[in-house]
Chains A and B, each alone.
Chain A
Amino acid sequence: MGHAVTLVKDSAPAARKARPAAPATAGRPGRRRENLAGYLFMSPWIAGFLLLTAGPMVASLYFAFTDYNLFNTPKWVGFDNFTKMFDDPRWQKSVEVTAKYVIIGTPLKLLLALGVALLLAQSRRGQAFYRAAFYAPSLIGASVSVGFVWRSLFSDGAIVDRTQTFLGFHVGGWVGNADWALYCLVALTVWQFGAPMVIFLAGLKQVPKELYEAAEMDGAGPFRRFWNITLPMISPVLFFNVLLETIHSFQIFGSAYVVSNTYCGPADATLVYTCYLYQQGFRNSQMGFASAMAWMLLLAVALVTAVLFWSQKKWVHYEEDTR
């Protein structure tokens, strides 16, 4: 993603160089017409950005400092919503649950995605079939249907429970068990490893074969080749996946709502952040409090994004532009 931004900056001067003739003959009116055309084509996006993104962001920031239940006029309360929030045990619980979900689920999912991508990258027969099949869960994983299936598979007496009992540690159904319910959601996100896997695979395909041949000639073993060639070469793709998956998993809502029960129990065991935000905003009509919660989420996501972008200087290797 950061790549995208830099790419635009890079390509703009190149484009200017590529077509010097047209603007020179067209002159100033031509440029004005290009500007007009540009903004006309962009007008849906600009309207959407102002009305549905920028405007609501400002409004949300304002609501965060008010007492507002949708029917009263918002009343300014300063930092009250934030102090109430930090003292609220359910809010603390929702932060804890979400942090656990992100910290456990995302690395597991990405490790599996990378591992399977490495497996599939050795082109053998059936590679395309496996790639497609492994990707399928990413398309259906967010649906209510799969939520129900998941709930069923992890309930008392179903396959997961029976397998565990067979292996010698009886837990019972995960969904109703406050210690295990969250791992049911973690399993659901890990099951959808196909989307990052496909991106890893595309990255792996771009690593020049000569590098491996040269390294093998020099006696580098598979681990060394992975560490010194594969990992640096796919680090931009790894960065992209880490960024997107982390941001997405902060925002999990539907699966928590469907797989557990509609109040994200038992005992708030799956009370992910957005679930609590939904309860406060839409069940309790605490629009001010919910807006304050939303801004805390935004700050957390922004912080993680900033740390990732800052850290990429140390571990992400972008190919130098040779064009």
Chain B
Amino acid sequence: MSSPALPAPPEPGVPPSTTRHLAPNRGRTGSLAWHLGALLILAVILYPVAWVVGASFKPSKDIINSLTLFPSEPILSNFKGLADGIADVEIWTFFQNSLFYALGAVAGVLISCSLTAYAFARIRFAGRNLLFSLMIGTLLLPYHVLLIPQYVMFQKLGWINSYAPLLIGKYLATEAFFVFLMVQFMRNLPRELDEAARLDGCGHLRIYWSIVLPLCRPALITSAIFTFINAWNDFMGPLIYLNEPGKYTVSLGLMMFRDSDGVAANYGGMIAMSLVALLPVLLFFLAFQRYLIDGMATSGLKG
């Protein structure tokens, strides 16, 4: 704390005691205002989510124009229609593809980022600080600079229209944010643990696997869930690398519901599918929100 001018000089003419007198009274009305404010924001936040739930049970023609959030006569035909698939591809295929992509990404990030983080946090080797600065630098690098040359490279390798270009980075620790998160976590583990293990003759691999990884569970869970959600929501990667509907992820499958002008032939189906696509993310969030929010919060601190 270097500079804020404290304590502030009392303002002339304002007796300092008045605020103390008002305190209990202000507490009650303040509490009411607090809850009103919070609820108002909550309503704005949740409206789009509630809307998509309600709209998916409405007939297509009512979705935009009826203002009631939930239909008086909910219909299931939007969901039933999904069973027919779209453009000869079954809806389930998109979900399978997304699941494959997301789980593949999670495995890659957990392995490669934790190995890298262990080296940064627990091994003293020449050039470590330089490499760490480079790693942080990649966090700020706009991905679009790499987009074209990477595409050219994967095209030469014949990897277009496969998941390899989407997944390889996950196995090579290019997700610097998660490396960073794990480094922060590992640094806070007591060093005595390693030293004791070393005296017992354990090498780094053993310490990494049997001591550090189990203790890092919260950071690993946070990284895994964020990776899953990011891959599930990923749009640009699949858009660029996948060009056969049978290989599309849910994001691309959703885009098939409308033409390039944004007009959807089957509006109800599109909205129903949107809801189904959101469900995994929302469920993950409900189950693990603590890990996600704490992981997010610590990223900005001690940062």
Contact = CB atoms under 8 A, between A and B. Distances in A.
Interface in A53-71: 53, 55-57, 59-60, 63, 70
Smallest CB-CB A-B distances: 9 pairs: A38-B125, A48-B172, A199-B300, A41-B119, A145-B274, A202-B297, A56-B149, A59-B149, A219-B16
Nearest to A57: B145
A220 B8 contact: yes
A298 B2 CA distance: 34
B6 A228 contact: yes
B140 interface: yes
Contacts of A151: 262
A217 B64 contact: no
B6 to A, nearest CB: 6
Contacts of A120: 38
B67 A162 contact: yes
Contacts of A262: 255, 260, 262
Interface in B136-165: 136, 138-153, 155
Contact of B204 (A9, A41, A146, A219): A41
A7 B303 contact: yes
Given A5-B136, A45-B179, A57-B145, A199 B34 contact: no
A131 B232 CA distance: 23
A253 interface: yes
Interface residue SS majority, chain B:
helix
Contact of A229 (B6, B38, B126): B6
Contacts of B289: 132, 135
Contacts of B260: 261-263
A142 B235 contact: yes
B300 A202 contact: yes
B64 A152 contact: yes
Contacts of A145: 52, 254, 273-275, 277-278
Interface of A: 1, 3-5, 7-9, 11-12, 15-16, 18-19, 22, 34-35, 37-39, 41-42, 44-49, 51-53, 55-57, 59-60, 63, 70, 116, 119-120, 122, 124, 126, 130-137, 139-140, 142-146, 148-153, 155-159, 162, 175, 191, 194-195, 198-199, 201-203, 206, 211, 214-221, 224, 228-229, 232-233, 236-237, 240-241, 243, 247, 250-251, 253-254, 257-258, 260-263, 274, 277-278, 281-282, 287, 290-291, 294-295, 297-298, 301, 305, 317-320
A63 B152 CA distance: 11
Contacts of A194: 45
A48 B6 contact: no
Given A45-B172, A139-B229, A228-B5, A250 B123 contact: no
Contact of A136 (B34, B55, B271, B285): B285
Contact of A52 (B120, B135, B172, B277): B172
A148 B254 contact: yes
Given A140-B233, A206-B301, A229 B195 contact: no
Contact of A119 (B9, B38, B133, B271): B38
Interface of B: 1-11, 14-16, 19, 30-31, 34-35, 37-38, 41-42, 44-49, 51-52, 55, 63-65, 67, 111-112, 115-116, 118-120, 123-126, 128-129, 131-136, 138-153, 155, 168-169, 171-174, 179-180, 187, 191, 195, 198, 203-204, 208, 229, 232-233, 235-236, 239-240, 250-251, 254-255, 260-262, 270-271, 273-275, 277-278, 281-282, 285, 289, 292-293, 296-303
